[in-house]
Homo-oligomer: A and B are copies of this chain.
Amino acid sequence: MRLGTAEHHDGAAVVVRVSDAEAVVLPGYHDVSDAIAEPGWRDAAADALRGGDRVPISELSWLPPVRRPGKVLCVALNNSSNADRIMRGPSTPAMFVKPSSSLVGHRRPIVVKEKYGRVHPEPELTVVIGRGGSDIPVDDALGHVFGYTIINDLTSPTMRDDDTFHYRAIHPDPGSADGIRYVDSWVSYPARYKGADTFGPLGPWVVTADEIPDPHALRITCVHDGRLVTEDSTANLRFSVAEVVSFASGYLTLEPGDLIAMGTALKRSAKGGAVQNVDLARQGGVIEVTIEGIGTLSNPVERR
Contacts and interface: CB of A to CB of B under 8 A. Distances in A.
Interface of A: 68, 70-71, 73-74, 76-77, 82, 85-92, 94-102, 113, 115-116, 118, 134, 157, 160-172, 177-180, 182, 185-192, 195-197, 248, 250-253, 255, 266, 272-274, 276-277, 279
Contact of A97 (B87, B172, B195): B195
A158 to B, nearest CB: 10
A167 B86 contact: yes
A272 B178 contact: yes
A167 B85 contact: yes
Given A189-B76, A189-B190, A191-B97, A172 B277 contact: yes
Main secondary structure of the interface of A (DSSP, over half): mixed
Which 5 residue pairs are nearest across A and B when measured between Cβ atoms?
A186-B186, A95-B191, A71-B99, A88-B166, A85-B168
Given A99-B71, A170-B276, A171-B157, A165 B250 contact: no
B186 A164 contact: yes
Of A172, A178, A179, A266, most B-chain CB atoms within 10 Å: A172
A46 to B, nearest CB: 32
